[in-house]
Structure 1
Amino acid sequence: MSMRRILVLTAALAFAAPGAFAHDDGAETVTPVMKQAVPEAAGKNVLIATVAYRPGQASEPHRHPGSIFAYVLQGHVVSQLEGSAARTYGPGESWYEPPGAHHIVSKNASSTEPAKLLVFAIVGEGEPVKLPIPAN
């Protein structure tokens, strides 16, 4: 195994927080790739992860405390922020979610093929990447 691969795997395990991975409840699979402090933004980290959806799978509505940049690696994903129309993104397409936006739809557009995203997130030290939308 290459040193680079060992370092990436070690880093992924070192910062994985409880709840960062899929559970038996049908949640999407989140796999950390890298986490790095950002010196020019004190207290902020960049997190890079993949998000995998099984055919027909969807995320629960949620929000992110920091900015999210998503890029489709495989398949097609339907994404909708509150106040905007739903849009289907395919391989090579990307979108941005501002901090606190309510992500009301995030799902695999296919009932037969998997989908996978690469996500770049800006998070505060000790903050979760994803939070449920508070009930009114």
Structure 2
Amino acid sequence: MARKSPLLPPAPAREKPDMALAIVNVVLLLIMFFLATGALFNRAAPSSVSLSQTTDLAVTQLPKPLLEKRPDGGLYLDDAPVTPDALGNALAPVGDVYVLIDKTAPAFELTSLLALPGLSGHDIVLVTVHSQPEAGPQP
């Protein structure tokens, strides 16, 4: 006996929904959530950072070679004035270079100092002066 064809036509294949739009919406919501919570967290963060401070250490006790950027803009290597052009020759025989800069110096001064060609190839150790010892009343 031959099988007859079904009375109803076959159901059309269902299209699967595209999940890309839902994923994009979730990602955007997460981004907005993290932006909002980050902004709230930054408002509650302390406005100043308390750094460690040493008042008994004299500048002469710091390790050598000490490259110092003074507030007046002068550049000194081991307390002797040096130009950026002569820095490479003066630092040729050493490996580590200690850089001393005032804590109130803008960050771009430090980054421009560290970008000098004479400092390439050297390990840099940053030293900051937090405050000078004040002469208080003597007992």
By the TM > 0.5 criterion, same fold? no
Please report the TM-score for the alignment, with normalisation by the length of structure 1.
0.23
Which of 1 and 2 has greater Rg? 2
Please report the TM-score for the alignment, with normalisation by the length of structure 2.
0.22
The structure carrying a bigger strand percent of its residues is 1
